[in-house]
Amino acid sequence: MLATTPGPTATAQQLTAQRPTAPPAATPLADTWQPPLSTRGRYIVDAKGDRFRLKSANWDGAQGSWTGSGAKDDPANHHSGQNSYGIPLGLDRVPLATLLADFHRLGINSIRLPFSNEMIHTSASVPDRAVAANLQLRGKTPLQVFDAVVSALTGDGFAVILNNHTNTSRWCCGIDGNERWNSGQSTQAWTDDWVFMARRYADDPRVVGADLYNEVRRDVFDDPNWGLGDEHDWYAAAQRAADRILTEGDPDLLIVIEGINWTGLPVDGLPHGRPTLAPARTLSHTLVDTHKLVYSAHFYGYTGPRHSGATGIGETHDPRYQDLSREDLFRVLSDQAFFVAEDTGKHYTAPVWISEFGIGSGETGTASRAWFANITDYFADHDADFAYWPLVGWEGGSDWSLLRYDAAGRRYGILDQADWRATAWQRLMTAPGRSGPVAPVTSWRMLDTDHGDRVQSRIERARGDWDPGAYKATCPDGLRLIGLGRTTGRGLCTDATADDLRAPGTAHTVVTDARYVPAGGDWASGYTKFQCPTDTFLIGYSRRDARVSAALCAPARAPLGTTGRTVWFDRSDNRPADAAGGDFAHGDYKGQCAAGEYAAGIAFTTRVGSSGSPDALLCRGLT
């Protein structure tokens, strides 16, 4: 979230007089959903399989509020004059129980709760004035206060998504030392902190998600990237953190991966822009649990597809989102983010959570107000998951907050009739959307060995290295390999038309020669063939440079079909007509079995002039 300038507000007397009466009692939030959460296609669902739409807000403060200059104890040197003391805002003014009651009045069901790595490691207690309205929190460290807030929220039925917002407790999000997950710290230290936080709340089932890092962007010298394999590779870092959280921390958490927020220099004539989730079209994440991935993006009216949001230095002539027509805005929203949810049956299909958007109650600009109406209309009409920024603020501080409190704890904000945002907010909160049971859908997940292993099976990870020295890829447990790229080392996994095929246990077969090709069963004459034994199926592969190194086969729980066909892809694509799963090896020839088939073998050649990359798949019917 970039810094904003507060606008004019109505007087306290006006707002107090215009407050509506309290709504009738509703069903307790805790009784409306059952943790943990997971995903089915574009939807998030609870433990019963019912749709759980994230209607969220950001309760910020624990990520830090100091603007980076001047004394830290002077509120004037904090964002909007609000010193958060490194804990969620408002605890100096309002009792926790009152805050939570107001959150319920908004109609939200979930909280994005930002924190900084610095908060985790701070050992000093917060000053008493920081928790003046919550005396039970005196003498606690920022992390202990965070613990108490998490416990209060989940105890009241809210779902909590932890968000690593910053490294240091300094306000973001420009050139401030928090540009990347590893700005000022190593990727190892960052992932260690995430494992620590996941374990810390693992016994609280309503802590449902890990939002890995906020607004990854360029620093002074270099851009983040999506897949280059270097120290600035956000795709790889997010994959690493997700795997560690799910295997070492808490396997029940949703993993939220935000797109890249900014690359390039914001100067007219030089490349720059907001990639957001566009790179996921050709390189998507596959987690050890295929039903835990959520993608995320942020949209503010004063930023744009190629506009940083700056005024003065860093401002370009590119349009801001608020400058776009309604139709153009909707197209951009789809192109930058919502295609992930809208394009069903692709390797990148996942829920999309717009985890930040917002505007000030004192905003008077026609374009800005129209943008807010348009984007909330889009969210309402597309049944989107969202999180408003921010939830809590000070009266006289940021007028962007949904709820503002003065020094005496009196409340102002969007619950007051004078707040112009209320109409759009109510439409968003009350618009009809998908609810109730969501049927399971076919999973399609990409494997890549671009820069190393991609072993996404817990079973195979526990068994150890099945082809030392090679780059290895294995489908998540419950999925089977169904497609391969010829030269990119990419693969496609699915559970199409079948439940988990694998027999109980950890048995597998590593195939490195043609011993399982039966006499008279040469399905790729003149080619080397790695074929699975009878009643086993491909779940993985390995390579040394481009050459196929081994095939990994798992035993089936029931007899498999033996009638098959050879799918060649050495000279062109050879995939089913519906191209299910999408382009999992962009720019490469690809071979793919049909949805009702399993892959039983890989053929390749090492003759002169050939690289040994896969040329054909043996595809057999499941029955």
Domains of the chain: residue spans and CATH: 39-308+317-430 (3.20.20.80), 444-621 (no CATH)
- Average pLDDT value for residue range 47-74: 96
Rounded distance, CA 130 to CA 146, Å? Answer: 13
Rounded distance, CA 571 to CA 574, Å? Answer: 9
pLDDT, position 173: 84
**pLDDT > 60? residue 318:** yes
Alpha helices for 107-212 (secondary structure H): 117-121, 142-155, 187-200
Q: How confident is the model at residue 9 (pLDDT cuts 50, 70, 90)?
A: very low
**pLDDT > 60? residue 21:** no
- For residue range 216-236, what is the model confidence (pLDDT) as tens digits? 999 999 999 999 999 999 999
pLDDT, position 22: 43
> Could you tell me whether strands 207-211 and 254-258 are parallel, antiparallel, or unpaired per DSSP bridges?
parallel
| Bridge partners for 616 per DSSP | 568, 603
Q: How confident is the model at residue 136 (pLDDT cuts 50, 70, 90)?
A: very high
Rounded distance, CA 14 to CA 337, Å? Answer: 40
- For residue range 389-416, what is the model confidence (pLDDT) as tens digits? 999 999 999 899 999 999 999 999 999 8
Regarding pTM above 0.85, the answer is: yes
**pLDDT > 50? residue 4:** no
- For residue range 166-190, what is the model confidence (pLDDT) as tens digits? 999 998 888 888 999 999 999 999 9
> Could you tell me whether strands 385-388 and 528-531 are parallel, antiparallel, or unpaired per DSSP bridges?
unpaired
Rounded distance, CA 512 to CA 601, Å? Answer: 11
- Average pLDDT value for residue range 282-286: 98
**pLDDT > 90? residue 449:** yes
Q: What is the DSSP letter of 68?
A: S
**pLDDT > 70? residue 20:** no
**pLDDT > 90? residue 17:** no
- Average pLDDT value for residue range 71-89: 94
Beta carbons of 471 and 449 less than 8 angstroms apart: yes
What distances in angstroms separate CA 453 from CA 276, 392, 449, 534, one per listed residue? 26, 43, 6, 27
What distances in angstroms separate CA 176 from CA 61, 69, 563, 606, one per listed residue? 17, 11, 61, 52
- For residue range 339-350, what is the model confidence (pLDDT) as tens digits? 999 999 999 999
pLDDT, position 5: 34
Q: How many CA within 13 A on the CB side of residue 255?
A: 26
Q: Strand locations in 183-233, DSSP E?
A: 207-211
Rounded distance, CA 82 to CA 514, Å? Answer: 69
**pLDDT > 50? residue 508:** yes
Cα pseudo-dihedral 188, 194, 199, 203, rounded to 10: -170
- Average pLDDT value for residue range 383-392: 98
**pLDDT > 50? residue 554:** yes
**pLDDT > 70? residue 14:** no
Q: What is the DSSP letter of 424?
A: H
Of 230, 193, 208, 91, nearest to 160 by C-alpha is 208
Of 162-176, 351-365, 511-525, the one with minimum mean pLDDT is 162-176
Of all residues in the chain, what percent carry a pLDDT higher than 70? 96
pLDDT, position 453: 97
Cα pseudo-dihedral 479, 480, 482, 483, rounded to 10: 80
- Average pLDDT value for residue range 452-456: 97
Residue with tokens 């195979």: 460
Rounded distance, CA 452 to CA 243, Å? Answer: 14
Beta carbons of 260 and 217 less than 8 angstroms apart: yes
Q: How confident is the model at residue 609 (pLDDT cuts 50, 70, 90)?
A: confident
pLDDT, position 177: 87
What distances in angstroms separate CA 45 from CA 1, 51, 208, 292, one per listed residue? 28, 4, 11, 10
Rounded distance, CA 614 to CA 490, Å? Answer: 11
Q: How far is CA 554 from the centre of its chain?
A: 30
Which run of H or of E encompasses 372? helix 366-381
Of 107, 111, 156, 117, nearest to 353 by C-alpha is 111
Of 566, 554, 560, nearest to 592 by C-alpha is 566
Rounded distance, CA 91 to CA 96, Å? Answer: 7
Rounded distance, CA 150 to CA 136, Å? Answer: 15
pLDDT, position 7: 37
Amino acid of residue 623: T
Q: Strand locations in 411-546, DSSP E?
A: 411-413, 444-447, 454-455, 471-474, 480-485, 491-494, 509-511, 528-531, 536-544
pLDDT, position 25: 54
